[in-house]
Structure 1
Amino acid sequence: MRKFFYIAVVVFLLGNCIGFAQDKKELVLIPKDSVAIKKTTINPLAPAKAAFYSAVFPGMGQAYNKKYWKLPLVYGALGTTIYFYISNNKKYHQYRDAYKRRLEGYYDDNYSYLDDSRLIYAQKFYQNNRDLSALLTALFYVLNIVDANVDAHLMQFNVNDNLTIKPDFYNNDFTKKQELGICLRLKL
């Protein structure tokens, strides 16, 4: 009983030390020319947290970033590629088993209308499609993580009226016509 008590105390103390060591540091940006002081807090760990959430459970990083409209895209891409992987893997095994039975001398399978070369071709076809589906699944999984990370970075990007680029119509004094230009506004 005493041993359990000592272990509990040590775990409690270590847990508190680790908890204090991982406090968030917040960066505060204060505009110089503002009359009212506005504090904008930036969480530097938000991109890493979003990427971690997406790595553990796909789509969770997008939910963390509050981009809920991306969830159907993530699940649609991953679900479609996983479906095709399973389907092609099933077909591959069916043709492979039929070919193995042909080599053993049995012709009582569902593919009796195909010769051996067609069975081999079907095996290779479905194997290539299965491998491509696995590659696309991995690609969409990594893309999900990268999207969550980049989106969390861009959420912290400073976008306000003091920093804008927009198209602008202006009157040309020489030709007396309106022309299209780009207005770049940078207030410091």
Structure 2
Amino acid sequence: MQLFRRFFLFVLLLGSCCVSNAQTDTTAVENPKDSITISEESNLANIVADSLQPKGPKMKRPRDAALRSAILPGWGQVYNKKIWKVPIVYGALGGTGGYFLYNRKWYREYRDAVRIITELTSPNGSKDSTAYLSMNENIRKWYERNQAGGLETLRFYRDDTRKKLDYSFLYFLLAWALNVVDATVDAHLQQFDISPDITFRVQPGYSEMARTSGISLVLHFK
């Protein structure tokens, strides 16, 4: 009987401790100093969302900037008031475009030379020398000095130039795409509010959440 009473008292004591701890935790959560209210969270979300919206007629729309740059390179940069970027855009496009045209020219020269020489050296091919004389002069003279393995070497040059032609076209497309990306990102960055109404500073203070003192990074919206 005495053992039962001791066990009963122990259960009551343990239950009272659990209830006390639960009430303490509930009070701590409901304390406005230790938690962020729903209204504060809503206000903060509205501030962040509002900061991402275009402010005034000077702000640029990323979609419009991207569309302009896709249609005409440099147009999006002009739209963003970054005219100094236009020479860079056309420098990149001009370099890659010039490399593409150079490779296309020499690919056609090697292709025609291989076709003409193959026909001349083939038993059933055409023996007309007019086409041979119309070949690129440098290629013709080189072939006359290296007739032994000249045809196979010309085929190698043709295939290698074809690879360079494909890569140069990809470089040109990449330069065009970077022009669109630059205009889009630049328009996005103009939407961020960097006016004096937003301040960022380091200051000492007391943290209600951590219940300690220290240095805080403060972002203040006015």
TM range (shorter): 0.5 to 0.7
CA deviations on 1:82-127 (whole Å, 9 max, x unpaired) are 1010011100110111111110116653441341121011112211
Identity of aligned residues (%): 36
Q: Whose Rg is larger?
A: 2
Please tell me whether residue 145 in structure 1 is matched to residue 180 in structure 2. yes
- Give the C-alpha shift of residue 161 in structure 1: 3.2
Structure 1 spans left out of the alignment, 5+ residues: 1-30, 32-39, 169-180
Three-state SS of the structure 2 residue aligned to 1:157 is coil
User: Does residue 154 of the first structure (1) align with residue 169 of the second (2)?
Assistant: no
Residues 199, 221 of structure 2: 8 Å contact kept: no
Give CA deviations for 1:6-63 in whole Å, capped at 9, x if unaligned. Answer: xxxxxxxxxxxxxxxxxxxxxxxxx9xxxxxxxx426887211111111111110001
CA distance in 2, matches of 1:184, 1:88: 57
What code does the residue aligned with 1:139 have? L
Pairing partner for 2:82 from 61, 67, 70: 67
1:116 equivalent in alignment to 2:151: yes
Counterpart of 1:123 in 2: which secondary structure? Answer: helix
Distance in 2, Cα, partners of 1:72 & 1:182:
45
Structure 2: give runs of 5+ residues left out of the alignment: 1-46, 48-54, 122-131, 134-139, 203-214
Contact 1:165 1:182 in 2 (8 A): no
1:74–1:144 contact (8 Å) kept in structure 2: yes
Aligned to 1:84: 99
Which segments of structure 1 move beyond 4 Å, counting only runs of 4 or more?
42-45, 181-184
Corresponding residue for 1:98? 113
| RMSD (Å) for aligned C-alpha atoms | 2.8
Structure 2 equivalent of residue 35 of structure 1: none
1: CA distance between counterparts of 2:221 and 2:100? 54
Instruction: State the match for 1:132 in structure 2.
Output: 167
> 3-state DSSP class of the match of 1:105?
helix
In structure 1, what residue type is equivalent to 2:180?
I
Whichever structure has more helix as a proportion of its residues is 2
1:41 aligned onto 2:56: yes
Distance 1:164-1:77 versus aligned 2 partners, 3 A rule: farther
How far apart, CA to CA, are the structure 2 residues paired with 1:80 and 1:182? 50
